């Protein structure tokens, strides 16, 4: 319905050239179907499609011996040269127009994908991504990677870009702000009602400057290390009982209470609406984290105490100097314990064999430090309360704290897409011989996610409007089926094919389409005969 094959064909086919044996759009769809289903590597796609009705699925006659990795590799080269990000942008716009999806805000974020090959960076190739080391969100600092920047609206992947492995999030947000006008124009989004939503990587003076110049409204989290955020959190914890309470529902429908403090402030010349929130939702987890830090700090104090107990000082003045040194250096970052010192003096005896007169062995005194510590429970409680707080801000001074939180909570939609993008059930390791092919293949992954997320949104919207449900695998009744559940429901479709040597094959459904499948096809504007019409 969105017309992905036609879109790719128009971008890749040359009017003067010979038409390909298999259209480029069909090659793309063959790869994307494999991603959703069983993700065989490219050189084994003929094995994957061996017992499948290719003409029934792709509406083009395809022979099994035409399916080989050279053909798909050549397609990826052409797809890259044609500008795969532009093709994704057109596909995204087509999806929104086809299904009448109205979007108001877009949530932006990035993730990384580990690359297992020993890829050498291609020098001098303008525009080519670099498979390189960078901050790994998979905690694999030993591996090279690529990154994906994704923008989601209503759970649909509406904007996407493949990035070099060493691209940082702040630069990504700056680059996205630079091209945002084109993105909004492509998606037919009215800027006056639009919010750019992202995590704390968006918060920087440069990004605020760019947003102001382009009249873009932002919603983001203020990093906890910013002085304004620290002061706001301290103010909330201090005046917790007097704050207003708001209730927010998550995507599962569960309600959570938040204490909120709103105010307007100035950050480097930009007027910002700041909303600081306190929630007990994660208090147990935060307390556990703080207690671990307390325990770790106590272990470090015990080690230091043992070292000091064996170290002798010549005089009390040296002992006091050591105490000041410890406070300035070693104990500087210790904050969960109250620490003090006592100086103990002991008689010092000379070395060697004891003399007949014991007093003759005494040569003076030596001094030892004793470290005394106790947990500062009041401070620990205060820190737990602070950990339950976070600060959101917007350059829109009209929006209130409840609306800011509701909009920011939609950032979860991007995280869900990241889980899918990195799932080995979707695409496992990528082994391709050039960064250009990897970039092209990545955009096919992103188009695939666009299709699946659009299907999920449209089906859920239709079921909600009709107050209806579908029956999925295992006879599970669903009012909000996931994209995986929707996809899996089509495994029940069976097609009977009668092969004729000299005329078109006959196709018919082996059994009647399930009622739930008919609902889904109708919501997606897909003809009911789509699996049996062949290439006609």
**20-63 residue pLDDT tens:** 889 999 999 999 998 888 777 778 888 889 988 899 889 998 99
Beta strand 270-278 with 255-267: parallel, antiparallel or unpaired? Answer: antiparallel
Query: Is residue 530 in a domain?
Result: no
Q: What is the pLDDT of residues 361-390, one digit of tens each?
A: 666 788 899 999 999 999 999 999 999 999
Query: Is residue 45 in a domain?
Result: no
CB atoms within 10 A of CB 109: 23
CA 491/CA 160 separation, integer angstroms: 29
> 170-189 burial by CB neighbour count: b if 16+ within 10 A, else e?
eebbbebbeebeebbebbeb
Lowest mean per-residue pLDDT among 78-92, 206-220, 403-417, 509-523: 403-417
Query: Is residue 311 in a domain?
Result: yes
Output the six-digit token pair for 252: 């599962």
Q: Does the pLDDT of residue 233 top 70, yes or no?
A: yes
Output the six-digit token pair for 334: 């210790």
Greater confidence (326 vs 141) lies with: 326
Query: Is residue 240 in a domain?
Result: no
pLDDT of residue 125: 47
Q: What is the pLDDT of residues 289-299, one digit of tens each?
A: 999 999 999 99
Look up residue 16 and give its DSSP letter. T
| Contacts of 148 by beta carbon, 8 Å cutoff, 6+ apart | 110, 111, 112, 113, 160, 161, 162, 163, 418, 421, 442, 446
Which structural domain range is residue 320 located in? 285-383
Beta strand 195-198 with 105-114: parallel, antiparallel or unpaired? Answer: parallel
Sign of the torsion angle spanned by Cα atoms 451, 453, 456, 461: negative
CA-based R_g, the chain, Å: 32
Query: Is residue 316 in a domain?
Result: yes
Lowest mean per-residue pLDDT among 42-51, 100-109, 220-229: 42-51
How many domains, the chain?
1
Q: Does the pLDDT of residue 171 top 50, yes or no?
A: yes
Beta strand 244-249 with 217-221: parallel, antiparallel or unpaired? Answer: unpaired
CA 531/CA 511 separation, integer angstroms: 13
Residue whose structure tokens are 């991007």: 414
Cβ atoms of 134 and 224 closer than 8 Å: no
Percentage with pLDDT > 70 across the chain: 90
Query: Is residue 28 in a domain?
Result: no
**CA-to-CA dists, residue 386 to 225, 261, 262, 294, 406, angstroms:** 13, 14, 17, 15, 21
Q: What is the mean pLDDT of the chain?
A: 88
Q: Does the pLDDT of residue 77 top 70, yes or no?
A: yes
Helices assigned H by DSSP within 389-434: 401-409, 412-422
**CA-to-CA dists, residue 244 to 111, 185, 237, 260, 389, angstroms:** 36, 39, 13, 6, 14
Q: Does the pLDDT of residue 399 top 80, yes or no?
A: yes
Output the six-digit token pair for 405: 């939180």
**Mean pLDDT of the 253-277 span:** 93
E strands, 222-336, are 244-249, 255-267, 270-278
Cβ atoms of 446 and 113 closer than 8 Å: no
Greater confidence (178 vs 128) lies with: 178
Contacts 24+ apart (CB under 8 A), 49-54: 53/495, 53/497, 53/507
pLDDT of residue 126: 44
Query: Is residue 346 in a domain?
Result: yes
| Contacts of 232 by beta carbon, 8 Å cutoff, 6+ apart | 222, 261, 263, 274, 276, 391
Instruction: Report which secondary-structure segment, H or E, holds 352.
Output: none
pLDDT of residue 124: 43
Torsion of CA 188, 450, 201, 438, to 10 degrees: -120
Beta strand 389-394 with 217-221: parallel, antiparallel or unpaired? Answer: antiparallel
Lowest mean per-residue pLDDT among 52-61, 133-142, 347-356: 133-142
Lowest mean per-residue pLDDT among 148-157, 166-175, 215-224, 340-349: 340-349
CA 413/CA 410 separation, integer angstroms: 6
Cβ atoms of 94 and 7 closer than 8 Å: yes
Query: Is residue 307 in a domain?
Result: yes
**CA-to-CA dists, residue 454 to 30, 143, 446, 450, angstroms:** 19, 33, 12, 6
* Residue 117 pLDDT grade (very low, low, confident, very high; cuts 50, 70, 90): low
**Mean pLDDT of the 254-263 span:** 92
């Amino acid at each position: 319905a969105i017309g992905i094959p036609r879109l790719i064909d128009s971008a890749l086919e040359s009017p003067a050239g010979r038409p390909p044996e298999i259209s480029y759009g069909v090659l793309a769809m063959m790869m994307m179907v494999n991603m959703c289903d069983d993700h065989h590597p490219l050189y084994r796609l003929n094995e994957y499609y061996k017992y499948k009705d290719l003409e029934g699925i792709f509406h083009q006659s395809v022979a099994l011996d035409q399916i080989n990795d050279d053909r798909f590799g050549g397609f990826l080269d052409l797809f890259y040269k044609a500008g795969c990000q532009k093709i994704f942008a057109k596909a995204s716009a087509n999806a929104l127009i086809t299904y009448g999806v109205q979007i108001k805000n877009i949530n932006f974020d990035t993730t990384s994908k580990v690359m297992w090959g020993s890829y050498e960076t291609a020098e001098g190739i303008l525009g080519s991504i670099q498979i390189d080391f960078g901050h790994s969100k998979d905690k694999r600092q030993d591996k090279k990677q690529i990154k994906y920047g994704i923008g989601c609206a209503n759970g649909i992947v509406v904007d996407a870009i493949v990035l070099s492995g060493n691209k940082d999030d702040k630069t990504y947000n700056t680059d996205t702000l630079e091209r945002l006008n084109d993105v909004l124009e492509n998606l037919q989004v009215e800027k006056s009602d639009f919010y750019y939503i992202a995590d704390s990587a968006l918060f920087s003076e440069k990004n605020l400057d760019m947003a102001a110049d382009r009249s873009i409204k932002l919603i983001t989290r203020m990093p906890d290390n910013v002085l304004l955020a620290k002061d706001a959190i301290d103010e909330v914890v201090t005046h917790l009982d007097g704050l207003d309470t708001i209730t927010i529902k998550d995507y599962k429908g569960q309600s959570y209470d938040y204490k909120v403090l709103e105010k307007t402030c100035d950050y480097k010349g930009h007027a910002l609406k700041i909303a600081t929130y306190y929630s007990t939702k994660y208090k147990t987890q935060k307390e556990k984290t703080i207690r671990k830090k307390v325990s770790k700090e106590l272990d470090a104090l015990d080690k230091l105490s043992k070292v000091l107990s064996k170290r002798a000082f010549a005089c009390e003045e040296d002992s006091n100097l050591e105490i000041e040194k410890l406070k300035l250096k070693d104990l500087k970052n210790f904050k969960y314990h109250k620490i003090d010192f006592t100086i103990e003096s002991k008689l010092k005896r000379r070395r060697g064999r004891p003399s007949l007169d014991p007093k003759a062995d005494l040569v003076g005194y030596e001094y030892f430090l004793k470290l005394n510590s106790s947990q500062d429970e009041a401070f620990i409680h205060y820190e737990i309360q602070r950990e339950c707080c976070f600060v959101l801000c917007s350059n829109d001074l009209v929006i209130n704290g409840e609306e800011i939180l509701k909009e920011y909570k939609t950032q979860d939609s991007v995280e869900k897409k990241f889980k899918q993008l990195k799932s080995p059930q979707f695409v496992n390791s990528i082994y391709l011989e050039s960064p250009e092919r990897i970039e092209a293949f990545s955009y096919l992954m992103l188009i695939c996610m666009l299709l699946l997320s659009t299907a999920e949104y449209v089906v859920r919207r239709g079921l909600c409007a009709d107050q209806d449900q579908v029956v999925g695998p295992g006879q599970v009744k669903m009012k909000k089926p996931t994209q995986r559940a929707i996809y899996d429901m089509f495994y029940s479709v069976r097609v009977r094919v009668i092969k004729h040597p000299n005329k078109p094959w006959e196709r018919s459904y082996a059994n009647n389409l399930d009622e739930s499948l008919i609902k889904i096809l109708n919501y997606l504007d897909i003809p009911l005969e789509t699996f049996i019409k062949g290439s006609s």
